[in-house]
């Protein structure tokens, strides 16, 4: 399958919005007010490449604008976005004249497909929810969910999310999440054990 390449507007941030995840943004810079207004007018998506100390990294996530929550008198706005697809940057321009904002040529991860979660990863997620929320979940809830849907159950830091999307192979992504779930489950089990000891003593 040929990997689709295209150019989309870029909004570098020190955050990662995983596919399926939603986040609220406050837009105040002129260049990004222009970007959002252009996207709204053209029903277009934009990319959020992960940025650290002003340096744009090689991976990011394409997002859509789900809702404009509020527009202020000075043109600033609050918007709700949702992650769509992971991409790799092939060429980046911080300003794409005559626009104020930048853009990049990207290619999507595994073409247009989102990696599906394996049964083992689903089982770990179910165990994690059972321990963390005292909530029983059946298999149907996780039927055909993506790897990123599973990842969204965890409270991953921006750095951890970036590490996840930057893995090229599915096996690497799965191994990362398996290890993270195991660590979280171990912590919850120890907390329950300590609580039980405290009660009995």
Q: What is the CATH number of the domain that holds 102?
A: 2.30.130.40
Q: Are 106 and 89 in contact (CB under 8 A)?
A: yes
Range of the domain at 51: 5-108
Residue 71 counted as domain residue: yes
Is residue 198's pLDDT more than 60? no
Mean pLDDT, the chain, integer? 88
Q: Are both 130 and 190 inside the same structural domain?
A: yes
Q: The whole model's pTM is what? A: 0.86
| 24, 193, 195, 196, 198 from 190: Cα distances, Å | 34, 5, 9, 10, 12
Tens of pLDDT, residue by residue over 100-155, are: 999 999 999 875 567 888 889 988 888 888 877 776 666 666 777 889 999 999 98
The answer to whether residues 91 and 182 belong to one domain is: no
Provide the number of structural domains found in the chain.
Answer: 2
Residues 77 and 14 in one domain: yes
Please report, rounded to a whole number, the percentage of residues in the chain having pLDDT higher than 90: 65
The number of helix segments (H) and strand segments (E) in the chain equals 5, 6
Structural domain includes residue 113 = no
Asked if residue 64 has pLDDT above 50, the reply is: yes
């Amino acid at each position: 399958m040929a990997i689709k390449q295209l150019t989309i507007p870029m909004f570098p941030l020190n955050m990662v919005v995983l596919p399926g995840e939603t986040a609220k943004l406050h837009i105040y810079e002129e260049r990004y007010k222009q970007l959002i207004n252009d996207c709204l007018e053209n029903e277009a998506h934009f990319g959020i490449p992960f940025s650290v100390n002003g340096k744009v990294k090689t991976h990011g996530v394409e997002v859509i604008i789900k809702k404009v929550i509020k527009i202020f008198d000075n043109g600033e706005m609050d918007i709700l976005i949702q992650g769509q697809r992971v991409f790799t940057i092939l060429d980046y321009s911080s300003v794409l004249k005559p626009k104020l904002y930048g853009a990049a040529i990207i290619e999507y991860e595994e073409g247009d497909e989102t990696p599906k979660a394996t049964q083992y990863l689903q089982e770990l997620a179910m165990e994690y929810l059972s321990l963390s929320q005292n909530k029983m979940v059946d298999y149907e809830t996780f039927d055909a969910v993506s790897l990123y849907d599973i990842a969204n159950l965890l409270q991953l830091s921006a750095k951890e999310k970036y590490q996840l999307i930057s893995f090229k192979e599915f096996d690497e992504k799965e191994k990362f999440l398996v290890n993270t779930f195991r660590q979280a489950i171990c912590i919850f089990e120890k907390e329950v054990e300590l609580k039980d000891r405290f009660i009995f003593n």
